Amino acid sequence: MDLKVGDKVSVTKKFAESDILHFSKLSLDTNPIHVDADYAGASIFGQRIVHGMLVASLFSGLLGMKLPGEGSIYLGQSLHFTGPVFIGDEVTATVEIIKIREDKPIITLRTYCKKIDGSIVIDGEAVVKITV
C-alpha cells in the first residue's frame, strides 16, 4: 500500500431523525437533548442535536474502508466536539494522514467534520495499524 503524508479522503452525510433514533437504541444514549423536542427546545441549542459519537462514527467507515482501508485496526482516537450538529445538517467527515511511522505499520491521521458553512464541529486524531 502506497501511503503518504497528506493523503486524505472524505464522506458527506445528512443526518436524519431515523439516524438519531437508531443510534439512541444501539448506544443506549437516550439523553433527551437528542430525542425529546420539548426538552431540547429549552436547551442552549434550542433544538435536538445529533449524538456527537454518531457524527464521529463516520471516521470509522473512512478508516476501515477508504484510508488506509480494509484490514486497518483502530488503535486510538481523540475527539474535540466544537459545535452542534442538528437533525437535517449535512456534515463532511475527513481523515488525513499526518504521520507515518517508519519502524511499524502505524499511521496517525487528523480527523475532522465540517458543516456546509465550513465550521468544524469535530476535530481530532486517530492512530491506525495497517495489517495488510
Question: Would you write out the chain's pLDDT as a tens digit for each of its 132 residues?
Answer: 689 999 999 999 999 999 999 999 999 999 999 999 999 999 999 999 999 999 999 999 999 999 999 989 999 999 999 999 999 999 999 999 999 999 999 999 999 999 999 999 999 999 999 987
Q: Which domains does the chain have, with CATH numbers?
A: 8-129 (3.10.129.10)
| Measured distance CA(93)–CA(20) in Å, rounded | 17
47's CB contacts (< 8 A; 6+ apart) are 37, 40, 41, 86, 87
CB within 8 Å of 110: residues ≥ 6 apart: 94, 95, 96, 98, 123, 124, 125
